Amino acid sequence: MSWDLLNSKVMFIALLIICNLLLLCFVLFMTKKTSPKIYLTDFACYKPPTSQKASKEHVIKQAIQSGYFSEQILDFMKKTLERSGLGDSTYLAEIFFDQKYHPSMKAARREVEMTVFGAVDTLLAKTGVRCEDIGILIVNCCIYNTVPSLSSVVVNKYKFRENIITYNLTGMGCSAGLLAIGLAKQLLQVHHNSYALIVSTESITENVYIGKDRSKLLINCLFRVGGAAILLSNRPSDRNNSKYQLLHTVHTNTSSSDRSYNCILREEDTAGIVGVTINKDLLTSAIATIESNLTTVGYLILPIKEKLLYMINYIARKLIPASSIQPYIPNYRKAVEHFIPHVGGKPVLDELQRTLGFSDEGMEASRMTLYRYGNTSSSSIWYGLAYVEAKGRVKKGDRIWQIAFGSGFKCNSIIWRAMRTVDYDDSNPWTEEIVGFPVPVNLMGGEPFTVYFEPSK
């Protein structure tokens, strides 16, 4: 193939890409004019009482007192905690301060109610919205599932109106909070002049693994108590008193692949003890799902120059045999001012930073959330956004990118635009201690921990 012919093909394909981008811009413009705008009025994160603070030393002490774990397992847990990125002020459920671990439905329900009611109470007080004005309720909690559902528990507590639309999302992992935002968006496009309340939480009281399988021990080491309540509105009158406008929702689900489906799985071990297995396919499945999500996000938010550079690089690598051209990684920093990924763990944050090229300050909110609150599952991205607000970094017009991923395998991204500069907030969970952050990285542990994966099935 001659270089002239190759150049002609590249130019032709580049022209097609430009035409498609212009067509996309036209479609988005028309859609923007006809679809109602959706605003994030405000959100609130639950901050447990000081009595529930737990150091890494306490976690190991409690594990020893329980009598369930061998010396080898305890040593593995110690090493995992040391390298996890968690600090010594995360929160455990009340049951973990007893002499011995004795889970119960009553204790699990108490943990969830304290978290959910604490977050919703704070949100309603901040916004002044009446319960009778809320028309949509979505509650997500992955492992804990009760009858009546958690959404019914919330309706009963706050006496919401009888025709409220309710959804209860379970078993959907750490990305369910952003999935709930996408669901609320679709509902608000149909139900005009409405408020949607989203509640994201998880319960760890009944979900600690007490067996010998190392691949099921990450929940014990990383997951902590936390929850968030978010209020969305499509009312035009809320434009001036809302914090953010919802710009994009991108959802990627690769559950049709057996490797993705089985990479994180709640099941019994050989002794009949229930836990969440992480097998060797997790890394491959996560990379494929997140890359697909990033591609779609980039198509929506990146400047045209970055899109063209990426596409030309991609085409060149496909057309030129044995190409030595390195893949081009778009500069996402030109598209968003604040990047808030889910705090799955320190290695996950390290890899995202390396791949996307964000600075240490750009990753600060998620790293400090992991350090201070641990992995609170689907609510962790809201603690991250609260951190950025507490630092006074959110200015009018700023774009915020939240991304979360979890079992399935699923990856969800949400893009917001700040409607105003966010002011000081007494109910922010970081307010009383924000002056002490960020914590120097060298105090957070060094080498990444090794996960002992089960063989894939």
Q: Over 80: is that where the pLDDT of 452 sits?
A: no
pLDDT at position 9 is 61
Q: How many domains does the chain have?
A: 2
Domain shared by 23 and 84, yes or no: no
pLDDT for 34: 67
pLDDT surpasses 50 at 324: yes
Are residues 26 and 114 part of one domain? no
Is residue 6 located within the same domain as residue 67?
Answer: no
**362 pLDDT band (50/70/90 cuts)?**
very high
Secondary structure string (H, E, C) spanning the chain: CCHHHHHHHHHHHHHHHHHHHHHHHHHHHHHHHHCCCCEEEEEEECCCCHHHEECHHHHHHHHHHHCCCCHHHHHHHHHHHHCCCCCCCEECCHHHHCCCCCCCHHHHHHHHHHHHHHHHHHHHHHHCCCHHHEEEEEEEECCCCCCCCHHHHHHHHHCCCCCCEEEEECCCHHHHHHHHHHHHHHHHCCCCCCEEEEEEECCCCCCCCCCCCHHHCHHHHHECCCEEEEEEECCHHHCCCCCEEEEEEEEEECCCCHHHHHCEEEEECCCCCEEEEEECCHHHHHHHHHHHHHHHHHHHHCCHHHHHHHHHHHHHHHHCCCCCCCCCCCCHHHCCCEEEECCCCHHHHHHHHHHHCCCHHHHHHHHHHHHHHCECHHHHHHHHHHHHHHCCCCCCCCEEEEEEEECCCEEEEEEEEECCCCCCCCCCCCCCCHHHCCCCHHHCCCCCCCCCCECCC
Q: What percent of the chain is modeled with pLDDT above 70?
A: 89
Structural domain including 19 reads 1-34
Q: pLDDT for 188-243, tens place per residue?
A: 999 999 999 999 999 999 989 999 998 899 889 999 999 999 999 999 999 999 99
pLDDT class for 449, splitting at 50, 70, 90?
Answer: very low
Average confidence (pLDDT) over 40-69: 95
Query: In this predicted structure, what is the pLDDT of residue 386?
Result: 98
Range in 163-167, 248-252, 289-293, 327-331 with the lowest mean pLDDT:
327-331
Using one digit for the tens of pLDDT, what is the confidence trace for 285-304?
888 898 899 989 999 999 99
State whether 362 and 292 are in the same domain: yes
* Same domain flag for 117 and 237: yes
**Which amino acid, 348?**
V
Q: Please, which pLDDT band fits residue 8 given cuts at 50, 70 and 90?
A: low
Q: Per-residue pLDDT tens for 127-161?
A: 999 999 999 999 999 999 899 999 999 999 999 99
pLDDT of res. 451: 44
Over residues 68-84, the mean pLDDT reads 92
The answer on 65 and 10 residing in a single domain is: no
- Using the predicted structure, report yes or no on whether residue 326 has a pLDDT greater than 70: yes
Which of 33-37, 278-282, 367-371 reaches the highest mean pLDDT?
367-371
Cis peptide before 321 (omega within 30 of 0): no
Could you tell me if 129 and 9 lie in one domain? no
pLDDT of residue 213: 92
Average pLDDT of the chain, as a whole number? 89
Residues 53 and 18 in one domain: no
Query: CB-side exposure of 266: number of CA atoms within 13 Å?
Result: 15
Q: Count CA atoms within 13 Å of residue 443 on its CB side.
A: 10
Could you tell me what percent of the chain has a pLDDT over 90? Answer: 68
Same domain, 39 and 24: no
Quick: pLDDT tens for 255-273.
999 999 999 999 999 999 9
* pTM (two decimals): 0.89
Q: What is the CATH number of the domain that holds 232?
A: 3.40.47.10
Q: What's the mean pLDDT in 361-365?
A: 94
pLDDT-derived band at 456, boundaries 50, 70, 90: very low
Domain co-membership, 28 together with 75: no
Q: Residue range 86-104: average pLDDT?
A: 91
Give me the mean pLDDT over the 388-403 stretch: 97
Residue 275 has pLDDT above 70, yes or no: yes
CA 77 to centroid of chain Cα atoms: 24
Q: Which of 9-18, 53-62, 181-190, 197-206 has the lowest mean pLDDT?
A: 9-18
pLDDT band at 445 (very low <50, low <70, confident <90, very high): very low
Q: Does the structure show a pLDDT above 60 at 448?
A: no
Q: Return the pLDDT at 455.
A: 41
The reply to whether 161 and 282 lie within a common domain is yes
pLDDT surpassing 50 at residue 183: yes
Checking phi first, is residue 355 left (phi over 0); if not, alpha (psi -120 to 50) or beta? alpha
What is the average per-residue pLDDT within 340-360? 88
Say which amino acid occupies 210: I
- 9, 150: one domain: no
